[in-house]
């Protein structure tokens, strides 16, 4: 991808989907919150207020003083860069082929997407252990699996800590959101966005929300993460901060909070100057977990007509995310029933 002199048609976005804000045109709108003192009652109350305001307004914020060792994050990022710098044929050894599952892919793992994404990705379920098949992970560079395992464990701990704060903000016991997930599933997705000859025509990732509960994101110092809170009318670029982690809420947090907390809409833009690396750690409810509002404040109505399993919520979302651009292309002529849930086998490659 990086050697191409122009973007192939498969990567070209419609005019209204193309980036209008540069990858390095940073905004200070997204709050940066220190977690220092989170175990002290007084400090925790102040942190809880800050996080609550960010989640109600943006659904996205950054945390510093989060307790995850800087050397571990640096080692994880370095090994990821080493992998993506491998020759293409070596990376492809870890891709899916002839029905064999894999952890490496280019663009997207979903079937039927109209436009391709300007990225390479390694992804793998890392928790619970029974579903974390580390045999699918790359075996180079040396130490990859051990570092990834330690990194994902620290991200899990931090996620539970943040969900505890949000549970308290809803007037619930600290473990309420974590318990609503039953057994937390975790996936680590490592995205590499190569330099792009025509970054104004394409995206690394299109506009979306995450389906799970909470996402922790490491981004290098290049920039490219963008967020919107006005239905895509305007976008802001989230500034990379050394040592910080970006936190954004997913759809499950939106439903569980009865719409009080925003499911952050975001995307990734690319550039022609530098490649970019990000590491997203997604926390999901287990497939059988029931999705429903955990707390409804006085005067509010429930945002869900009936509770559903997370597996069903996930299927409906993935179907919608893939089919909606087709509906848009056809100016609303597509049968909207096609936006309903489809079997997972029809969604993923």
Q: Residue 133 has what pLDDT?
A: 63
Q: Return the closest-CA partner of residue 325 out of 31, 4, 16.
A: 16
User: Could you say which DSSP state residue 100 is in?
Assistant: B
Q: The domain 9-337 belongs to what CATH superfamily?
A: B-lactam Antibiotic, Isopenicillin N Synthase; Chain (2.60.120.330)
Q: Residue 109 has what pLDDT?
A: 64
Query: Do 282 and 340 form a contact (C-beta atoms < 8 A)?
Result: no
What DSSP assignment string belongs to 17-58? Answer: GS--S-TT-B-S-S-EEE-TTTTSHHHHHHHHHHHHHHHHHT
pLDDT of 324 > 70? The answer is no
Q: Return the closest-CA partner of residue 59 out of 293, 296, 218, 255.
A: 255
Q: What is the pLDDT of residues 102-117, one digit of tens each?
A: 789 888 766 667 799 9
Q: Residue 50 has what pLDDT?
A: 98
Q: What is the mean pLDDT of the chain?
A: 89
Nearest 5°: CA angle at 248, between 246 and 252? 155
pLDDT of 30 > 70? The answer is yes
Q: Residue 99 has what pLDDT?
A: 64
Query: Do 276 and 204 form a contact (C-beta atoms < 8 A)?
Result: yes
Q: Is the bond leading into 128 cis (omega within 30 degrees of zero)?
A: yes
pLDDT of 181 > 90? The answer is yes
Q: What is the pLDDT of residues 259-277, one digit of tens each?
A: 999 999 999 999 999 999 9
Domain locations along the chain: 9-337
Mean local confidence (pLDDT), 78-107: 87
Nearest 5°: CA angle at 263, between 323 and 221? 100
Mean local confidence (pLDDT), 190-200: 97
pLDDT of 155 > 90? The answer is yes
Assessment of whether the complete model's pTM goes beyond 0.85: yes
Query: Do 347 and 319 form a contact (C-beta atoms < 8 A)?
Result: yes
pLDDT of 37 > 60? The answer is yes
| pLDDT confidence band for 346 (50 / 70 / 90) | very low
Residue holding tokens 């750690």? 281
pLDDT of 343 > 60? The answer is no
What DSSP assignment string belongs to 278-314? Answer: EEEEEEE--TTPEE--S---TT---S-SS-EEHHHHH
Mean local confidence (pLDDT), 295-324: 87
Nearest 5°: CA angle at 205, between 65 and 125? 65
pLDDT of 98 > 70? The answer is no
Mean local confidence (pLDDT), 58-79: 97
Mean local confidence (pLDDT), 136-144: 86
- Alpha carbon distances (Å) from 311 to 27, 69, 87, 88, 307: 36, 33, 37, 34, 12
Q: Return the closest-CA partner of residue 186 out of 205, 169, 210, 209.
A: 210
The token pair that represents 305 in the structure block: 């007509």
pLDDT of 158 > 60? The answer is yes
Lowest average pLDDT, out of 14-18, 262-266, 294-298, 341-345, goes to 341-345
Mean local confidence (pLDDT), 207-233: 96
pLDDT of 40 > 90? The answer is yes
Residue 281 CB contacts under 8 Å (≥ 6 apart), including other chains? 151, 152, 155, 156, 159, 186, 187, 188, 189, 215, 216, 217
Query: Parallel, antiparallel, or unpaired: how do β-strands 276-284 and 120-127 relate?
Result: unpaired
Mean local confidence (pLDDT), 180-199: 95
For 120, phi then psi, to 5°, come to -120, 150
Cα–Cα distance for residue pair 31/75, rounded to 1 Å: 26
297 against 114, higher pLDDT: 297
Query: Do 35 and 65 form a contact (C-beta atoms < 8 A)?
Result: yes
Query: Do 114 and 325 form a contact (C-beta atoms < 8 A)?
Result: yes
**What is the distance of C-alpha 37 from the center of its chain?**
27
């Amino acid at each position: 991808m990086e050697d191409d002199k122009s973007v192939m048609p498969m990567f070209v976005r419609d005019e209204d989907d193309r980036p209008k804000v540069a990858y390095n045109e940073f905004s200070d709108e997204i709050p940066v919150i220190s977690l220092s003192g989170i175990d002290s009652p007084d400090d925790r109350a102040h942190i809880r207020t800050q996080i609550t305001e960010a989640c109600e307004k943006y659904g996205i914020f950054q945390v510093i003083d989060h307790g995850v060792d800087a050397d571990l994050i640096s080692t994880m990022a370095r090994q990821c860069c080493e992998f993506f710098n491998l020759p293409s044929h070596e990376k492809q050894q870890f891709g899916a082929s002839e029905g064999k599952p894999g952890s490496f892919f280019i663009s997207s793992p979903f079937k039927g997407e109209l436009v391709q994404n300007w990225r390479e990705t390694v992804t793998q379920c890392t928790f619970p252990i029974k579903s974390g098949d580390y045999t699918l992970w790359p075996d180079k560079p040396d130490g990859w699996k051990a570092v990834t395992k330690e990194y994902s464990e620290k991200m899990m701990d931090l996620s539970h800590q943040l969900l505890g704060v949000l549970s308290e903000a809803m007037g619930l016991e600290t473990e309420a959101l974590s318990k609503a997930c039953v057994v937390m599933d975790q996936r680590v997705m490592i995205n590499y966005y190569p330099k792009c000859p025509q970054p104004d025509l394409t995206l690394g990732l299109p506009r979306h929300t995450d389906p799970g509960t909470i996402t922790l994101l490491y981004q290098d110092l290049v920039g490219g993460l963008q967020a919107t809170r006005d239905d895509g009318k305007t976008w802001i670029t989230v500034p990379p901060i050394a040592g910080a982690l970006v936190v954004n809420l997913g759809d499950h947090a939106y439903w569980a909070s009865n719409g009080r907390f925003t499911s952050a809409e975001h995307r990734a833009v690319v550039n022609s100057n530098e490649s970019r690396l990000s590491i997203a750690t997604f926390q999901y409810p287990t497939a059988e977990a029931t999705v429903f509002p955990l707390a409804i404040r006085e005067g509010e109505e429930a945002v869900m007509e009936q509770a559903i399993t997370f597996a069903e919520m996930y299927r409906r979302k993935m179907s919608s995310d893939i089919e909606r651009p087709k509906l848009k292309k056809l100016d609303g002529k597509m049968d909207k029933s096609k936006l309903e849930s489809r079997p997972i086998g029809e969604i993923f490659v």
